[in-house]
Structure formats: C-alpha cells, structure tokens
C-alpha cells in the first residue's frame, strides 16, 4: 500500500468540527489560552485548506509545541494531575490538527478525539454529559468514514447516516459487554482531579460557612426510598459531627486524636425494620457521606465512625452511590465514657463572659438538663431572634456574646454554634451536626432531591436514657424552616439563590416546567444509580437475579446472541440481490433466447453485437429453425427500440 | 466468521515477498501461488464470493485497538462506567466494521472486457467492468491494484462502471496481466478486505519496429527497395476516395482546400504487385530482428496507404491495404513461432 496518502480535503472539515466538539466540554477546566490555541490552529488549518496559508515549518511547529508545554506548566505549576494532562492532550490535538496533512494524521486525530471523550467522563457522568459525548462519538466516526471515501465524492449526509447506523448496530453487543464485563479494582493509582471549587459543605463550621450555601440550587445528593418517605421535618441528613471547638470554629474529631479504646464504634441495638434508601451523591472531594440517624450502609468502602456518621476512605471525586438503612428510634450511645463526656462538654472559658454569666444564672434555675434545654429554646423563641441569609458579620472571638445579646440575626449555624456553646457551658454534652435538612420530594420515583441550599446545622445533646438526641435551635426561631423546608422560609429574602440565577429550580412553581423537571430528575436518578453507579456488587446481584449463577459460557452465549440477532439479518438484507431486473423487456427476451442458443451449442461471445450473434446462429442452426426466427424478431425489436 | 479470520491469517503470512535466494521460501511461495490459482482460477468474469475474500485489520486498525486498550485501562483505573461503555461501544463498532468492510466487496462482479495491443515497452491498457448486482447498496472506494497502477472507484447499487488499468509490457506475444488485487478499507479504514483475481484477458504485444535502411538481400534476386523517406514516391497514378486510415500525406489537400471531398493520391508503387514483405528477404539476423524489421516495413507501407502482403514461414497474408490488413499482419508477426499460440 502506498503510505502517506493525502488527507482527503472533505474529511478535514469533519475533523475540525470533531476537534472543537470534543474540546468544548472541557472549557470549564482548561485555561482560556488553550481554547485560543485551538481556534487559531483550526483557522490556520482552514486557511491552508483554502490554500491561503502555508503549513508552519518544522522548527516553528517544534517551537509551538514547546511553548505550549511551557505555558501549561506555568498555568498549572505541574504536569501531574488530571487537568494538566487533559489540557496537554488538547494542546497536542490542536497542534496535530495544524500539521494534519496525511491520511494517517486524520486517524490519529480521531483516536485522540475518542480518548478526549473518555477524559470528559472522568470529570462528569451526568446524563447531559453522556448525551453530548454520544454526539461527539458520532462526529468522530463520521470523520473516520469521510477519511475513507473515494475522492470526488461531495459532502453528503451519507457519512453521518452510516456512522449512526454502525453505532446503532454496535449497541446490543455493547450493552451485553457493559453488564457482563467483570469490574475489577484499579490496577494502579491514577492522577486525581485537583481541588476544584465545589460548592458544598466544608469540614469545619464557623459563622457564615453554611450561609453561602443558601445561595446555590446545585444538587447535593438524591435519595431514592424503598418505602414511604418521612415527613420533611424528619429529614435530617447527618454529614459531619463536630465535637471539637478550636479557634472560633467547630470541627470533627480526627481518628488519631481518640484514645485506642474509643476508636471502635459501638453500633446501637436495632430491632425495628429500617428505612431503606439509596443515596447518589454528587462529587464533593470530601470523605463523608449523608444519612439519617442511625444509619448503616452495606456498600463496600463505606465505614461508620464512632459518632455514627458514615464515611469513605478516599475523597468522593465522582458521583457515588450507596445503600443506607436507617433506624430513627435507635439509641445512640446510651452510655457516655468519661473521655467522651469531657470532650463533648469542653468549651474554652472566658471567651464569652456575658453568656457565661447568663448561662450560670439560668442553670441555677434549671438543674435538670431537659428543663434547661427547654428554657434555652424558649429564650430563642421569646426574644427577637431573626433567621436570615444575610446576617451581620461577627469576627471577634466572643461570638456567642455578640450574637446572643447584640445582633440576634443569624443563619442556622449561628444558632447551632451558640446553642451548643451554651449547653457546654452548662456542662451538658452537646455537639454540632452539619448536613442537610429536608429536600424536594419527587413522587414519580419516590426520591428526595437535596440541594445545596438545604444545608443545615443543628445540635445533638446527650441525655440520660436517650443517648444522643437531635435538637434544632433554628426550629425554635423559624419553625417553617424545618416544617416546610428552607425554600418556604427564605422565599423572597434577599440573597436566596443569588448564585444560581439560571438554574431551572429558580423557575419552580411554573407547572409545565415542574412537570419536566420532576421527570428529568427521575431519568437522572435512574441513570446515576443504575449506570454510573454500576459496580461489582450490583453486577453480581444482577447476574444472580438473571441466571442464578455466573458462568463464562453465559457471557459468550449472550455476546454471540446479540451479535447474531443484529448483524446477521442486516448482512442478509444488505446483500440482497437485485429483485427487479434493470434490463429492458426487449433485452430480457433477447438474453433469454441467447441462453437457449447456448444450450444448442452456440454461445454468444462477450461484447458481440446482436447481429453478429444472429449471423453465427444462422451458420449453426438448420434452416428456418424456430429459435432463429425468434432471435431475428427479438433483435428487430431491440433495434427498433 | 471463524473461517474468514483463519483465511486472512494464512493469506497474510504467505504474502510477504520471498527472496529468490531462499529455497524454502521460494518453494512455499510456489505452493502458495499454486494454492491460490486452484482457489481462484482465472476467468473472464469473477464474482467476489465469500470464499474469495480475505480480511485483516490495517495498521490503523491496530492503532485503534491500542487506543481502546488505553481507554479500557482508564475505565478500570478510574472505575468509570461511562468510560467502560464508550470503550465497549467502539470495540463493538470494530466488529460491525468487519461486516461492513466485508460487505463492501462481497458479490462484486468484475469482468475483464478487453486489452489494448501495444509495442513492447509501452503500457498496455486493460479495461475492466465492475458491476453491482445488489439492489440496496453499492460499493464504495473499491481499489484495483497492480504493481504500478491502481484505481479507486465507487459502484452504484445495481449499476456498473468501466475502469482501466495499465501494465508495462516487455516481450512480444501474448501478455497475461498479473494477479489483480481488489481491496477496500471502506467504511472505517480499520480493516482491509481483499481478494485476488486472474483475468482471462490477454494483451497482444507486437514486435518492436526497428528501422531497416535497405533490403540488402533479396531472395527473388530483385533489387532491394528502399522505403526511406528521402526517396520519395513513385509516379502518381490517380485518385480515389479517402478511406479512414489513409496516411495524411497521401491526401490531396490542395483539392480539399478548393472544397472537394477528401481524395487520396494513388502512386504506382501502391499497386505494385510485388509489394511482398517476405521473411525470406532477411537471411541474416535473429528471429526477433527479422520480425522487428518486417514490422517497421509494414508500418511504413501502411502509413503511405500502400498495398502489401506478408510471407512468414508458417503463413501468407495476401496483398491488401488498410487498417485491417495492418492489424492482421502485426498479429501474425507478434505470434510468430510462439509455441502453443495460433495466429488465428
């Protein structure tokens, strides 16, 4: 074969379209100059195509490559990591486009395009991203077909249609492979995503930390319930349990900070049937999960901490799904160890002198823990405290003093912070729990969609005989927050959803849109939990459900079956011989007579004129043979035509 | 399917050009050719049936497989289901492409229509007709390849198309074209489907004309004649109507300029009954030389529109003129003394 054939001109247009299409979804995570390089390369190549520009010389190309790499290093400071690698791939593809002269450059660009599509999936696996990648794949296959068209074939819809057809035919076998291919763990460790700015809960709590989440309608997670969804006021999704107060902020106690004996969680005794649900979380880059107390998860990789929260070893970089069973009535830690009691009642003295004096006073009136808590809550209720998304900023160390006696305007974390601090001053074990509260119920698939603005902080108090008990001071100030959700409490307030101006959620309440939104959410949840969240556990479950046992022979049979079901009929159809003859009726008659002539031992030579055939037939056949006469007539008809 | 792959493997392994030095390789190559000849016998019309087709991934196909492997490793390492999905999809696209590439040659019909007669050293043109008997799908980007000549064509569904390929010829006589390779990588370029075909079409190669100055020896004892141009022509005898093939310089252009129809001038030598080109006139020289001289002489006669006859040891062409006479004479010369070939 002659190597180094020229890139067909027509396929170049498809290649440029593909390259831009596969680059677009990466826009949000690459430096802008990469886009500029891309467009410049595409325009230059188009000018070359129109013969208005020369291909850059070898040295210039080398220089471009080197400066691209240098710029990348300057932008990221490293080549290790997913984003720099993707950017490197994109720059390489752009420069390759510039020097795509030969046919094999075209192939290389297409294969590079496939790989860029895969890198996109590492960042996001949502339904829209998938659909977009389907389009990209179609374009890339189209470019591949255009590369193989013979020259002189004009632009037509043939290539995209054929690409679609071939891709569609590959789907059944792909589905079989997808569900049956064994899911094994990572073979080696791979560069992970760098800490992108993800909206979400942080691992410490200081005033103002949750407030900023109130401005975003991004989805935090979805929970699909097996049974009845509890009331909104019971939907407390515990994420972090913060027992440690340090430098004006609350944080979770680290594992290594605990004494040896405290490290092992003691699961409570559970008797009743649990609530069962599956949570599919959006990536958070954090190591904790959400669940309603008391929660257990059978999903591999999920562990339980001593403070009854769920966690994972590695940060959640991709959508992550896990099963949860919750027992709301279970007693969490009915017996408190001395160490834990000390930990949960520890609050620095002298920081908030006013509050300390006031708490001491109140504690003398209410020696009983429950009475004291009730008094504290009624104080919140009675005094002019406001629940607001835009509280005045308090930066001084005596936050509780300032909040309780001066501003009295705050968001959930302000209340939780002050409440827990005051309980600890009164020597009652208490801690802050950060998570989400409520969520939008989608009745179509029995799920709860929890968004960032559902972020919430509340308190857990340890009571004799009840263990850790949830008490939400915010509910005392703004009962509607807990009863009807954040949205109902905040609607119309300045700042609400100010970070999600274009979110579909802003337009909630419009019936047609809600209809679409809820249905889309059903799809998205199904996608996330069934396709994206498909793992070896679910695979084994699925295969056992279908076949009872897992056998390699089943795998082979299914794959061959899916092949035979689709491709065999297609090939038969494609290769069907022409059923309608293209010959004229006169021609048909003549060739039929020629066949008879051949049986008589006088075959018609290739390319022979009919009259010549007739002449030879006359020599060959006896005088006035009917076949000869018929032939004569047929030829006469043929010429008359 | 399995058969298909096996066959392609065999074909591939035996395709590598063998050096003449290696005895074993030569032996294998001969065996392979004999096997191929048995398998794919020469014919006028060849239909590319299932058993004639071979298929194997191209270099790009292997590169594609490498890309898929990298994609699969990415999917495994990132535990990314959509990456798995895309990888499997493309892998299965490859399987679909096997069928499409195969179908792009299957049942293709090729007929060797004719071959042009030429002189040695020229390129003979072979004309092939490619037709598609399928009603739904034509053939795209089908390549016919000979060493040094290839052609890429599309055949519409139910249609036919004529293409010509050239091959350089060297020796006088019948030239049988080499094995023709018919191949296609359409639609994805990841696989190549091909077949070989020998066609029962031969090109006649005339002897190389070699200028001869003077017939020094004449068997009949006549004075040798010199047909070189400076000698000029004999006396003008008269005119006759122009016939296709008459040499331009015999045409009476003057009268034509006056508006008369084309007339050809007749010279005395044209009607010379002794215009015999005789093998016996050349006692010296090799067979090929004699044929080449005769060839040159007869072309000279023809270009002047003269009558001539040809006497060869095995046959005699009566005196006549015109293209038909020239072609018969050239054919007789071309096939002279070739065993097993008749001049018929």
Whole-complex ipTM? 0.73
CB of A6 within 8 A of CB of A103? yes
The answer on B193 and B52 residing in a single domain is yes
The pLDDT score that the predictor gives to residue B232 is: 44
B199 touches chain A (CB under 8 A): no
Q: Among A273-287, A351-365, A609-623, B264-278, which stretch is predicted with the lowest mean pLDDT?
A: B264-278
Cis peptide before B187 (omega within 30 of 0): yes
Question: Once rounded to an integer, what is the mean pLDDT over residues A285-300?
Answer: 88
Q: Which of A114, A154, A283, A532 best probes binding to B when mutated, by most B CB atoms within 10 angstroms? A: A114
d(CA B35, CA A178): 43
* Structure confidence at residue A112 (pLDDT): 94
Q: Which of A477-491, B4-18, B63-77 has the lowest mean pLDDT?
A: B4-18
Averaged over B162-174, what is the pLDDT?
A: 88
Q: Average the pLDDT over A626-632 and give the result.
A: 80
pLDDT at A421 over 70: yes
- Global pTM value: 0.73
Q: Which residue has the higher pLDDT, A54 or A353?
A: A353
* B158 and B302 share one domain: no
Residue B55 and residue B108 in one domain: yes
The count of structural domains within chain B is: 2
Using pLDDT thresholds of 50, 70 and 90, give the confidence band for residue A18: very high
Are B92 and B127 in a shared domain? yes
Phi then psi for A440, rounded to 5 degrees?
-95, 125
Give percent of chain B with pLDDT exceeding 70.
80
| B66 has a pLDDT exceeding 90 | yes
Chain B residues within 8 A of A569 when measuring between CB atoms: none
Least confident window among A493-507, B190-204, B238-252: A493-507
Please state, in angstroms and rounded to a whole number, the distance separating the CA atoms of residues A134 and B291.
71
| A 564-593 residues with CB < 8 A to B | 567, 570-571, 573-580, 582
Which DSSP string do the residues of A194-262 spell out, in sequence order? P-----S--SEE-TTTTGGGGG---EEEEEEESSPPPPGGG-EEEEEEE-EEETTEEEPPPGGGS-GGG
User: Does B79 reach chain A within 8 Å, measured CB to CB?
Assistant: yes
Residue B36 in any domain: the answer is: no
User: Is B16 among the domain residues?
Assistant: no
Interhelix angle A610-620/A626-640, nearest 10 degrees: 170
pLDDT at A277: 93
The strand pairing partners of A584, in sequence order, are none
A:B CB pairs within 8 Å: 169
- Tokens of residue B40, six digits: 């794919």
Is the residue at B155 inside a domain? yes
Same domain, B136 and B235: no
Catalytic residue among A412, A454, A521, A594: A412
The answer to whether residues B70 and B171 belong to one domain is yes
Same domain, B174 and B274: no
Classify residue B273: in a domain, yes or no.
yes
Residue B340 domain-assigned? no
Of A11-20, A198-207, A571-580, B26-35, the one with minimum mean pLDDT is A571-580
- The pair of structure tokens assigned to A489 is 């409490």
The average pLDDT across A198-225 equals 79
A608 falls in which pLDDT band (50, 70, 90)?
confident
pLDDT for position A162 = 92
Choose among B59, B96, B153: nearest Cβ to A169. B96
pLDDT in tens, B89-117: 999 999 999 999 998 998 888 988 888 88
Tell me: pLDDT of B19 over 50. Answer: no
- DSSP summary character for residue B251: B
Q: Could you tell me if B50 and B143 lie in one domain?
A: yes
Q: Are residues B196 and B234 in the same domain?
A: no
Q: Is A456 a catalytic residue?
A: yes
Residues B47 and B100 grouped into a single domain: yes
The predicted structure's pLDDT at residue B197:
86
B164 assigned to some structural domain:
yes
**CB pair distance less than 8 Å for A606 and B44:** yes
Asked if residue B10 belongs to a domain, the reply is no
**d(Cα A302, Cα A290) in Å, to the nearest integer?**
11
DSSP, collapsed to helix, strand or coil, labels residue B27 as: helix
Specify the pLDDT at position A126: 86
How many CB atoms lie under 10 A from the CB of residue A205? 23
**Confidence band, pLDDT 50/70/90 cuts, at residue A580:** very low
Q: Which of A231-240, A489-498, A557-566, B248-257 has the highest mean pLDDT?
A: A231-240
Q: Is the pLDDT of residue B18 over 60?
A: no
Percentage, residues of chain B above pLDDT 90: 17
**∠ CA B335-B339-B341 to the nearest 5 degrees?**
50
Mean pLDDT of A571-596: 68
- DSSP, collapsed to helix, strand or coil, labels residue B264 as strand
Same-domain status, B139 and B276: no
CA dihedral A376, A377, A381, A383 (to 10 degrees): 20
Residue B191 maps to a domain: yes
398-457 in chain A: CB under 8 A from chain B: none
- Read off the pLDDT of each residue in A90-117 and give the average, rounded to a whole number: 91
Mean pLDDT of the B83-93 span: 95
Contact A149 B141 (CB under 8 A): yes
Q: Which residues of A touch B99 (CB under 8 A)?
A: 567, 570-571
Q: Look at B63 and A107 and tell me if their CB atoms are within 8 Å.
A: yes
The reply to whether residue A571 touches residue B44, judged by beta carbons under 8 angstroms, is no
pLDDT of residue A115: 95
B2 contacts chain A (CB < 8 A) = no
Percent of chain A at pLDDT exceeding 90: 21
Q: Which of A342-351, A547-556, B22-31 has the lowest mean pLDDT?
A: A547-556
Final residue in a domain of this structure, among B205, B239, B271? B205
**Tens digit of pLDDT for each residue in A26-35?**
988 888 888 8
User: Is pLDDT of A575 > 90?
Assistant: no
Compute the average pLDDT of residues A251-270: 83
In order of A562, A590, A631, A634, the CA distances from A595 in angstroms are 45, 9, 11, 13
**Per-residue pLDDT at A497:** 62
pLDDT at A237: 94
Query: What local confidence, expressed as pLDDT, does residue A410 receive?
Result: 85
- Domain enclosing residue B244, as ranges: 229-334
- Average pLDDT over all residues of chain A: 83
> Cα distance from A443 to chain B (closest Cα, Å)?
28
pLDDT higher than threshold 70 for residue A153: no
Is A158 catalytic? The answer is no
- Provide CB contacts within 8 A for B79, sequence distance 6+: A183, A185, A186, A318, A535
Stretch among A146-150, B271-275, B301-305 having the lowest mean pLDDT: B271-275
Of the pLDDT bands very low, low, confident and very high (cuts 50, 70, 90), residue B57 is: very high
Residue A170, chain B, CB below 8 Å: the answer is yes
The dihedral sign for the CA sequence A530, A531, A535, A540: positive
Same structural domain, B200 and B314: no
């Amino acid at each position: 074969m002659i190597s180094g054939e020229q890139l067909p001109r027509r396929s170049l247009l498809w290649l440029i379209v593909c390259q831009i299409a596969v680059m677009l979804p990466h826009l949000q995570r690459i430096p802008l100059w990469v886009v500029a390089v891309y467009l410049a390369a595409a325009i230059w190549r188009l000018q070359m195509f129109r013969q208005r520009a020369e291909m850059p010389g070898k040295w210039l190309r080398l220089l471009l490559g080197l400066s691209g790499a240098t710029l990348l290093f300057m932008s990221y400071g490293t080549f290790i990591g997913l984003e720099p690698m993707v950017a490197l791939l994109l720059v390489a593809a752009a420069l390759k486009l510039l020097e795509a002269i030969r046919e094999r450059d075209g192939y290389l660009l297409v294969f590079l395009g496939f790989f860029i599509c895969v890198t996109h999936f590492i960042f996001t696996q949502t339904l829209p991203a998938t659909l977009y990648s389907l389009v990209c794949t179609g374009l890339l296959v189209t470019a591949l077909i255009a590369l193989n068209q013979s020259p002189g074939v004009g632009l037509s819809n043939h290539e995209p249609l054929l690409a679609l057809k071939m891709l569609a035919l590959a789907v059944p076998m792909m589905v079989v492979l997808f569900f049956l291919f064994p899911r094994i763990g990572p073979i080696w460790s791979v560069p992970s995503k760098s800490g992108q700015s993800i909206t979400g809960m942080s691992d410490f709590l200081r005033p103002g930390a949750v407030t900023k989440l109130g401005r975003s309608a991004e989805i935090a997670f979805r929970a699909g319930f097996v049974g009845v969804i509890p009331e909104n006021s019971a939907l407390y999704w515990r994420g972090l349990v913060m027992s440690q107060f340090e430098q004006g902020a609350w944080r979770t106690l680290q594992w290594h900070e605990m004494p040896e004996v405290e490290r092992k969680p003691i699961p409570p005794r559970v008797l009743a049937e649990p609530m069962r649900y599956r949570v599919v979380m959006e990536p958070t880059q954090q190591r904790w999960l959400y669940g309603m107390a008391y929660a257990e998860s059978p999903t591999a990789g999920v562990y339980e901490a001593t403070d009854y929260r769920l966690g994972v070893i590695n940060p959640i970089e991709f959508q992550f799904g896990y099963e949860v069973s919750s027992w709301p009535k279970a007693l969490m830690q009915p017996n408190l160890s001395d160490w834990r009691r000390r930990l949960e009642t520890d609050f620095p003295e002298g920081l908030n002198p006013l509050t300390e004096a006031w708490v001491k006073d109140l504690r003398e009136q209410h020696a009983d823990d429950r009475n004291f808590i009730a008094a504290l809550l009624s104080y919140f209720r009675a005094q002019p405290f406001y629940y607001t998304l835009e509280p005045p900023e308090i930066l001084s160390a005596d936050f509780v003093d300032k909040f309780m006696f001066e501003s009295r305007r705050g968001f959930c974390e302000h209340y939780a912070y002050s409440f827990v601090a005051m309980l600890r001053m009164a020597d009652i074990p208490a801690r802050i729990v950060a998570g989400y509260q409520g969520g939008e119920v989608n009745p179509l698939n029995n799920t709860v969609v929890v968004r960032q603005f559902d972020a919430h902080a509340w308190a857990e108090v340890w009571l004799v005989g009840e263990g850790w008990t949830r008490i939400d001071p915010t509910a005392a100030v703004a009962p509607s927050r807990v009863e009807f959700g954040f949205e109902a409490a905040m609607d119309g307030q300045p700042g609400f959803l100010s970070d999600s101006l274009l979110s579909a959620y802003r337009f909630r309440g419009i019936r047609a849109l809600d209809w679409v939104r809820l249905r889309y959410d059903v799809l998205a949840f199904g996608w996330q939990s069934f396709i994206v969240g498909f793992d070896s556990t679910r695979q084994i479950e699925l295969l056992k459900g279908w076949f009872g046992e897992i056998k390699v022979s089943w795998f082979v049979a299914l794959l061959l079956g899916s092949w035979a079901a689709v491709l065999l009929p297609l090939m038969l159809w494609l290769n069907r011989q022409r059923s309608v003859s293209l010959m004229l009726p006169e021609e048909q008659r003549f060739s039929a007579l020629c066949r008879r002539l051949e049986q008589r031992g006088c075959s018609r030579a290739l390319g022979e004129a009919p009259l010549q055939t007739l002449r030879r037939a006359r020599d060959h056949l006896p005088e006035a043979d009917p076949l000869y006469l018929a032939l004569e007539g047929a030829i006469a008809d043929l010429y008359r035509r | 399917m399995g058969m298909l792959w096996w066959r392609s493997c065999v074909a591939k392994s035996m395709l590598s050009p063998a050096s003449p030095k290696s005895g074993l390789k030569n032996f294998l190559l001969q065996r392979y050719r004999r096997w191929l000849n048995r398998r794919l016998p020469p014919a006028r019309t060849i239909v590319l049936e299932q058993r004639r087709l071979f298929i194997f991934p191209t270099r790009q196909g292997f590169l594609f497989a490498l890309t898929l492997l990298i994609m699969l490793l990415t999917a495994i390492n990132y535990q990314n289901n959509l990456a798995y999905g895309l990888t499997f999809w493309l892998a299965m696209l490859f399987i679909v492409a096997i069928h499409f590439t195969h179908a792009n040659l299957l049942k293709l019909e090729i007929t060797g229509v004719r071959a042009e007669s030429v002189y040695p050293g020229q390129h003979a043109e072979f004309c092939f007709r490619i037709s598609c008997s399928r009603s739904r799908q034509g053939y795209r980007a089908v390549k016919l390849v000979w060493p040094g000549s290839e052609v890429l064509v599309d055949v519409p569904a139910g249609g036919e198309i004529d293409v010509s390929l050239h091959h350089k010829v060297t020796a006088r006589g019948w030239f049988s074209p080499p094995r023709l390779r018919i191949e296609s990588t359409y639609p994805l370029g990841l696989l190549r489907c091909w077949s070989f075909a020998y066609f029962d079409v031969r090109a006649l190669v005339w002897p190389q004309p070699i200028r001869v100055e003077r017939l020094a020896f004449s068997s009949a004892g006549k004075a040798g004649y010199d047909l070189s141009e400076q000698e000029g022509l004999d006396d003008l005898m008269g005119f006759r109507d122009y016939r296709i093939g008459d040499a331009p310089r015999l045409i009476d252009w003057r009268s034509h300029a006056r508006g008369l129809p084309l007339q050809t001038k007749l010279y005395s030598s044209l009607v010379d009954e002794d215009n015999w080109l005789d093998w016996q006139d050349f006692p010296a020289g090799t067979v090929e030389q004699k044929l080449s001289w005769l060839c040159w002489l007869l072309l000279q006669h023809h270009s002047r529109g003269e009558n001539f006859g040809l006497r060869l040891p095995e046959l005699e062409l009566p005196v006549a003129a015109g293209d038909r006479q020239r072609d018969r004479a050239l054919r007789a010369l071309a096939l002279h003394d070739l065993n097993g070939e008749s001049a018929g």
